[in-house]
């Protein structure tokens, strides 16, 4: 089958026809395919300013547009753009062509192709596999994300989760808002900071009907978020979710451990707590054999770290309650016990939990409507997505990577899927 026949099957353009196909050796052993395109003789160019047809003014020199590679050979469309003498715009403007956007050097097909691969591999790997650059992969992802954001539907969202994630060294945090409804889980929005104003920006963008339609909002205890959620979606049940509470406790355990390591060293004890970080933080069922052995060893000492860990494990029972009343009773008992423990970081956790008691108990009032692992799952996926875009850790690239990976964005229907 001739190449042109295939192209007419997979990528047909209404007012243009495929012309000559040439294979050129750019360097020794490095071939590229150039496929000419011509406007149909009776067609008039479309003005890229107003999208209306107009008379041809002149023709620019030939330009190359990168297409989807065939058999690992780079393929270019070659076309001399016409300029339109547009009566409507009142000036001479370059025509628009159906296979590319604006001044872009990549065809749309190529952009969708690279963007799809970038969901499966790191951007660097995509660039290497298809002999292109990291920048081309990024701009393709950007194109896909922009298209998706314009075409997505955000009606009917009942449940959202608000999370924050560190994206660069220092205190550079992003605010992420997810839809976590049973039938639809996706990233809805990214904010550049983790301030009240930032989250307010999300509610402003989505509008009042969106905020008033919310039934549940999940978040951590960050005061800025608590304030904005109460102000923007007062009717929604606000739930502090399990992931964030456990994160808080793990932070406390880590603090206790670090202090204790220091103290033991000063008092001249053997370094029993060395390499103990993960066996204190992990749950028993997730531990390796080595970590279990280490844990048994640690049990022999009456360590604060160990007691803090046991107290956290004990708290896990909280989530198993079904009635709000019993859960409240357990919470109060756990807090009182912890307050007597003399372990300062854990006492701080207990105080925090006490002061957020109602929001914590909302977990039970939500009555099984929320699944506990969702926000945590997204948090892990977000970290992975940021690693995939690794190259230039700019806010822009990270934003595109996150939407691309977690946004469940729509894609256009195409006559042929290249990837």
Spatial distance between the Cα atoms of 361 and 87, rounded to a whole number of angstroms: 67
Torsion of CA 82, 85, 88, 93, to 10 degrees: 50
| Span near Zn ion by CB under 5 A; candidates 4-12, 39-47, 115-123, 167-175 | 39-47
49 binds Zn ion (CB under 5 A): yes
Closer residue to Zn ion in complex, CB, 90/183:
90
Give the number of residues in contact with Zn ion, rule: CB under 5 A: 6
Closest approach, Cβ 87 to Zn ion, in A, equals 8
Closest approach, Cβ 414 to Zn ion, in A, equals 28
| Span near Zn ion by CB under 5 A; candidates 88-96, 192-200, 203-211, 319-327 | 88-96
Cβ-count burial 263-281 (b if 16+ within 10 Å, e if not): ebeeeeeeebbeebbebbb
| Span near Zn ion by CB under 5 A; candidates 41-49, 146-154, 293-301, 363-371 | 41-49
Closer residue to Zn ion in complex, CB, 10/89:
89
Closest approach, Cβ 94 to Zn ion, in A, equals 10
Spell out the SS3 assignment of the chain. CCHHHHHHHHCCCCCEEEEEEEEEEEECCEEEEEEEEEECCCCCCEECCCCCECCEEEEEEEEEEEEEEECCEEEEEEEEEEEEEECCCCEEEEECCCCECCCCCEEHHHHHHHHHHHHHCCHHHHHHHCCCCHHHHHHHHHHHHHHHHHHCCCCCCCEEEEEEEEEECCCEEEEEEEEECCCCEEEEEEECCCCHHHHHHHHHHHCHHHHHCCCEEEECCCHHHHHHHHHHCCCCEEEECHHHHHHHHHHHHHHHHHHHHHHHHHCCCCCCCCCCHHHHHCCHHHCCHHHHHHHHHHHCCCCHHHHHHHHHHHHHHHHHCCCHHHHHHHHHHHHHHHHCCCCHHHHHHHHHHHHCHHHHHHHHHCCCCCCCHHHHHHHHHHHHHHHHCCCCCCHHHHHHHHHHHHCCCCCCCCCCCCC
Closest approach, Cβ 226 to Zn ion, in A, equals 51
Closest CA to 345 of 314, 307, 301: 307
Closer residue to Zn ion in complex, CB, 96/125:
96
| Span near Zn ion by CB under 5 A; candidates 79-87, 168-176, 230-238, 369-377 | 79-87
Closer residue to Zn ion in complex, CB, 49/391:
49
Closest approach, Cβ 98 to Zn ion, in A, equals 17
User: Pick from 12, 31, 40, 88: which binds Zn ion (CB under 5 A)?
Assistant: 88
Closer residue to Zn ion in complex, CB, 83/388:
83
User: Pick from 17, 89, 94, 366: which binds Zn ion (CB under 5 A)?
Assistant: 89
| Span near Zn ion by CB under 5 A; candidates 44-52, 64-72, 365-373, 377-385 | 44-52
47 binds Zn ion (CB under 5 A): yes
Closer residue to Zn ion in complex, CB, 36/49:
49
Spatial distance between the Cα atoms of 319 and 323, rounded to a whole number of angstroms: 10
283 binds Zn ion (CB under 5 A): no
Closest approach, Cβ 15 to Zn ion, in A, equals 17
46 binds Zn ion (CB under 5 A): no
377 binds Zn ion (CB under 5 A): no
Closest approach, Cβ 90 to Zn ion, in A, equals 8
Structure token pair of residue 354? 């006490």
Closer residue to Zn ion in complex, CB, 89/281:
89
User: Pick from 39, 86, 239, 343: which binds Zn ion (CB under 5 A)?
Assistant: 86
Closest approach, Cβ 52 to Zn ion, in A, equals 6
Site string for Zn ion, 239-278 (x = CB under 5 A): ----------------------------------------
Closest approach, Cβ 251 to Zn ion, in A, equals 59
Binding site for Zn ion (CB under 5 A): 47, 49-50, 86, 88-89
């Amino acid at each position: 089958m001739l190449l042109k026949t295939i192209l007419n099957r997979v990528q047909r353009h209404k007012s243009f026809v495929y012309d000559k196909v040439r294979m050129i050796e750019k360097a020794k052993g490095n071939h590229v395919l150039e496929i000419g395109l011509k406007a149909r003789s009776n067609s008039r160019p479309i003005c890229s300013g107003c999208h209306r047809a107009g008379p041809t003014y002149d023709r620019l020199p030939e330009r190359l547009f990168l297409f989807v590679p065939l058999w690992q050979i780079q393929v270019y469309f070659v076309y001399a753009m016409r300029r339109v003498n547009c009566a409507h715009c009142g000036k001479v403007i370059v025509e628009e062509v159906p296979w590319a956007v604006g001044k872009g050097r990549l065809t749309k097909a190529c952009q969708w192709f690279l963007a799809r691969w970038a969901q499966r591999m790191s951007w660097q790997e995509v660039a290497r596999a298809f002999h292109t650059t990291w920048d081309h992969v990024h701009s393709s992802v950007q194109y896909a994300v922009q298209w998706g954001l314009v075409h997505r539907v955000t009606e009917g969202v009942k449940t959202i989760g608000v999370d924050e994630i560190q994206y660069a060294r220092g205190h550079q945090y992003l605010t992420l808002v997810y839809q976590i409804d049973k039938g639809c889980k996706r990233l809805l929005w990214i904010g550049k900071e983790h301030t009240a104003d930032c989250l307010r920006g999300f509610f402003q963008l989505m509008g009042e009907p969106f905020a008033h339609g919310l039934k549940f909002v999940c978040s951590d205890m960050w005061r800025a978020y608590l304030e904005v959620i109460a102000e923007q979606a007062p009717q929604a049940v606000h739930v502090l979710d399990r992931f964030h509470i456990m994160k808080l406790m793990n932070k406390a355990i880590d603090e206790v451990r670090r202090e204790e390591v220091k103290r033991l060293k000063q008092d001249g004890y053997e370094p029993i707590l060395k390499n103990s970080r993960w066996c204190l933080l992990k749950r028993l069922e997730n531990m390796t054999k080595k970590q279990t052995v280490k844990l048994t060893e640690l049990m022999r000492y009456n360590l604060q770290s160990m007691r803090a860990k046991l107290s956290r494990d004990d708290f896990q029972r909280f989530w198993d309650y079904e009635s709000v009343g019993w859960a409240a009773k357990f919470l109060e008992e756990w807090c009182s016990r912890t307050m007597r423990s003399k372990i300062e970081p854990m006492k701080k956790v207990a105080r925090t939990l006490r002061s957020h008691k109602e929001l914590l108990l909302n977990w039970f009032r939500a009555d099984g409507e929320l699944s506990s692992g969702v926000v945590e799952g997204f948090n892990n996926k977000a970290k992975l997505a940021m690693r995939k875009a690794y190259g230039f850790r700019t806010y822009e690239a990270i934003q595109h990577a996150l939407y691309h990976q977690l946004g469940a964005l729509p894609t256009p229907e195409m006559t042929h899927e290249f990837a």
